[in-house]
Each structure stands twice: as structure tokens, then as C-alpha cells.
């Protein structure tokens, strides 16, 4: 059974458009019960990388001591969860023109040379090819893919960097100006993608 991994980054658990729309998308995608759905809530304890984390990460795997392995334990778990997923659904609100800090912390934890990408003579190569990603973006005022939307292109870039290039965007933007129209547009896109 293929695995669908839901990665949610909104600080809000209730009345979160990105979470609610993600749930709707997952329900539509999984209407036949064909996915083993896993969840990762980034609003709950994703730490930022530290100097010790960096030192452990740049130490060759076979040379890491127990303390270094402990610093990378969560990162290793997140990477294994990501590798095991066939389909990814990201719930990503736009905070101050970009992604929530929790999502950036997750990105820092999973973008690791030798694990999710590698350096070649032709530049970096993503190692997580063959996965499908859906990004559910919710924004009060920043139009998705506008000149001042730094979240959507950043997420496309990061996913492409680790090899995930089949990416669909479901946008609920302009929520402050016209919430009903924004949600209707996002739900129509969900219906189209899940058809």
C-alpha cells in the first residue's frame, strides 16, 4: 500500500485553512482507501539546527560518536519518513511573505547531502525522485506566485532540490479580502486534482 505523508506547519490547529484544505485533499485522494496516511505536525517541537547538529552532520557517518548520532536522531527519523512516502501533502500558510519557521526548520532537517541529495560534478542532484507533492498554501493577503510570495517558489525550489519535481499547488489566497471566493477556488482545484 502506498504511503501518503501529511506535513502540516500552521501554528493554528483550529480554524486553520491550510490544515482544513489539506484534510479535504487527503480525503479526496484517499477516497478508495488506497493510502497508508501518516502525519507530521511541524507546529509541535521541530527544533532549529544548531552548531552541534551541523558538526554531526558534516562528520562522516561511520565516524560519528553517540552524541553526534543523538543530535541527528530526529533528522534521521524525518528523512526516513520522507523517503517512505509516495505522496506528500504540505499544509503551508504564508507568514510574513514566507513559510512558517517550523516548516523552515523541517526543511533544514531533511536537506542533507548523501541522504536526500548529493553533490556531483554537474552540481547537486536530488535523491527523492518519483514522488508526488501537493502544497496547500493559505494566505490572507499575499497572492500566490506574486512578486512578494516567497513561500511558494521556495517550496518548489526545495522540493526540486531533493528530487521531487511533480508538484501541484492548491492556493487559498486573498482570504482576508474574500474568504468564500478563495476557499471555493481552492476546493475546485482539489476536486480537479483528485478527479
Domain range summary for the chain, segments of one domain joined by +? 3-194
pLDDT band at 193 (very low <50, low <70, confident <90, very high): very high
Complete DSSP assignment for 145-183: TSTT--HHHHHHHHHHHTT--EEEEEEE--TTT-HHHHH
- In the sheet that 3-8 helps form, which strands lie side by side, from edge to edge? 36-41, 3-8, 87-93, 132-138, 166-172
Average pLDDT over residues 3-11: 97
Tens digit of pLDDT for each residue in 99-125?
999 999 999 999 999 999 999 999 999
Known binding residue 9? Answer is: no
As a whole number of Å, the end-to-end CA separation of the chain is: 20
> pLDDT value at position 195?
84
145 phi/psi in degrees, rounded to 5: 65, 20
Per-residue pLDDT, averaged over 70-86, amounts to 98
75 among annotated binding-site residues: no
Spelled out in words, what is the top-level CATH class assigned to the domain 3-194? Answer: alpha beta
Residue 6, annotated ligand binder? no
22-56 per-position pLDDT tens digit: 999 999 999 878 999 999 999 987 999 999 999 99
- pTM, 2 dp: 0.95
Nearest to 55 by CA among 43, 67, 44: 67
* 139 annotated to a ligand binding site: no
Amino acid at each position: 500500500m502506498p504511503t501518503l505523508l501529511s506535513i502540516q506547519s500552521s501554528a493554528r490547529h483550529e480554524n486553520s485553512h491550510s490544515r482544513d484544505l489539506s484534510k479535504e485533499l487527503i480525503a479526496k485522494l484517499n477516497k478508495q482507501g488506497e493510502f497508508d496516511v501518516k502525519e507530521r505536525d511541524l507546529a509541535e517541537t521541530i527544533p532549529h539546527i544548531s552548531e552541534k547538529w551541523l558538526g554531526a552532520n558534516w562528520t562522516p557517518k561511520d565516524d560519528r560518536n553517540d552524541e553526534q548520532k543523538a543530535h541527528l536522531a530526529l533528522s534521521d527519523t524525518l528523512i526516513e519518513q520522507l523517503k517512505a512516502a509516495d505522496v506528500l501533502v504540505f499544509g503551508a500558510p504564508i507568514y510574513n511573505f514566507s513559510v512558517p519557521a517550523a516548516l523552515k526548520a523541517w526543511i533544514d532537517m531533511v536537506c542533507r547531502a548523501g541522504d536526500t541529495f548529493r553533490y556531483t560534478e554537474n552540481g547537486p542532484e536530488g535523491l527523492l525522485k518519483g514522488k508526488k507533492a501537493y502544497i496547500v498554501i493559505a494566505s490572507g493577503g499575499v497572492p500566490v506566485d506574486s512578486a512578494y510570495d516567497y513561500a511558494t517558489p521556495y517550496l518548489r525550489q526545495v522540493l526540486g532540490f531533493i528530487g521531487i519535481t511533480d508538484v501541484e499547488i492548491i492556493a487559498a489566497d486573498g482570504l482576508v479580502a474574500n474568504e468564500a471566493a478563495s476557499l471555493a477556488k481552492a476546493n475546485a482545484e482539489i476536486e480537479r486534482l483528485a478527479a
